[in-house]
Chains A and B, each alone.
Chain A
Amino acid sequence: AQSVTQPDIHITVSEGASLELRCNYSYGATPYLFWYVQSPGQGLQLLLKYFSGDTLVQGIKGFEAEFKRSQSSFNLRKPSVHWSDAAEYFCAVGVITGGGNKLTFGTGTQLKVEL
């Protein structure tokens, strides 16, 4: 069965600093990978996704992620964090089943931004 590990439960960065959130997955085949962001009391917003092709994917709000098959990783990065980026970030692996895309999530990383 597939699984996702986000080793950092909480991360604090200063505004303007760079950010990297770690995500490791376990899945036997080529994975569909996603990053979602959740603000308090809100739903999940898709930041970016990887299905195939270029292993460096660009997303919204200046985020990018790199798929590294050899390391089973899909880390999220942003060169300069803004205070509005404070939220919880979830990495997920998708498995195609019955035509749909069933997601397994990591436990999330809570990002705090210091001004």
Chain B
Amino acid sequence: QKEVEQNSGPLSVPEGAIASLNCTYSDRGSQSFFWYRQYSGKSPELIMFIYSNGDKEDGRFTAQLNKASQYVSLLIRDSQPSDSATYLCAVTLEAGTALIFGKGTTLSVSS
């Protein structure tokens, strides 16, 4: 059974702080890694994807991938109340195949 594990939270951070979201995956052959944000009652929205070991930055978001440890994380700098949502980690085994999702981590940013 291919699994993606996330701490369900909630993770609570004050406005302006760095939020760190973590994810581990079981299949060492996983190729692509995605972070989706999902507001309550809405569908998942792509934030970032990463394919190679290391860091990838996009604005206030940084994705980090360590394939040796089978670990992927998302850092959100200068967290805002509007970042309060559930963050879903997902992986694919090959390009063009289905996403395998974790259960998501709920982030709450207080003002």
A, B bound = no
The interface of chain A, by Cβ under 8 A from chain B, is none
- Residues on B lying within 8 angstroms of A by beta carbon are none
